[in-house]
Structure formats: C-alpha cells, structure tokens
Amino acid sequence: MHSGTLTVPTKRHMELVDITGQITEVLTESKTHNGQLILFNPHTTAGLTINEGADPAVRDDIIAGLRQIVPLDYRYRHMEGNSPSHIMASLMGCSLTIFIEDNQLVLGTWQRVFFCEFDGPRTRKLKWQVINNP
C-alpha cells in the first residue's frame, strides 16, 4: 500500500476545487495497476464529491444549491457561526473510493473529483491511500 497527504489551497469561502489532476499524479507515481484509491478529508467544514467537471457552472450550482438547502440563518447552538459548513460537510461525506484499472482512475466521461471547501479560504490537507489488488 502507498499513502500520503496532499495540500489543497482554497480561494473562496465556499467552492468545489477540482483535484483530479493531483490524485492522478499520485496514482501514476505509485505504479499501482489494479485496486482502489481512497481519499479521506480530515477537516470538519469540508467534504469530497465526484460530479461533472466539463461545465464549471455545475460546481457553482452545487454550492448554490447547498446554500439553499442548508438554513444559513437558523438559531444554531455552535457559537463559531459555521454550523451550516459542518452540516454541508456531513451531507457530502469525508471519504471517496475510486477504482484503479491499468494505473488509471476509473471515472465516467464527465466525472471529476472535487474537494468541497465550505469554510475557506484555507490551506487544507487531504489524506490518500492507494491499495494494490491484483
């Protein structure tokens, strides 16, 4: 097994950052031909998702949709004021499992892998494992 940590700098309060290039590099270097790449986000106001990457409007719409779905002005108890960000983190989830075939990520035609920033901008960390299953 190979493992490590990536750095993901984010630029806005809330945004989806395309990390497909970064994790493809990790996979290529691992020289793993078949198995799984697992990502784990160690932050509680961020998440991970896979969605369309061709039209950048989709990632903006996902953020806009989440801001409509999660009440932003509810009388939350957590005093830091970022409870909506914690809720979005749980809605997206903190881990992804992606198949590896012939040292390539198995993604659909339109799929890209996104780090979801819900309380930025910050410099985030992302843990990964590449598992070999011949």
Closest to its own copies by CB, 22 vs 53, is 53
Closest to its own copies by CB, 1 vs 28, is 1
- Closest approach of Cβ 126 to its own copies, in Å? 11
In angstroms, the CA 127 to CA 104 distance is 19
In angstroms, the CA 47 to CA 59 distance is 13
- Closest approach of Cβ 22 to its own copies, in Å? 18
Which stretches of the chain bind its own copies, using CB under 8 A? 1, 3, 34-36, 38, 40-44, 49-52, 55, 57-58, 60-62, 64-66, 68-71, 74, 76-80, 83-84, 86-87, 89-99, 101, 106-111, 127, 129, 131, 133-134
Query: Rounded to the nearest 5°, which phi and psi values hold at 29?
Result: -65, -30
Closest to its own copies by CB, 21 vs 73, is 73
Alpha helices in 5-124 (DSSP H): 20-30, 56-69, 83-92
Contact 93, 12 (CB under 8 A): no
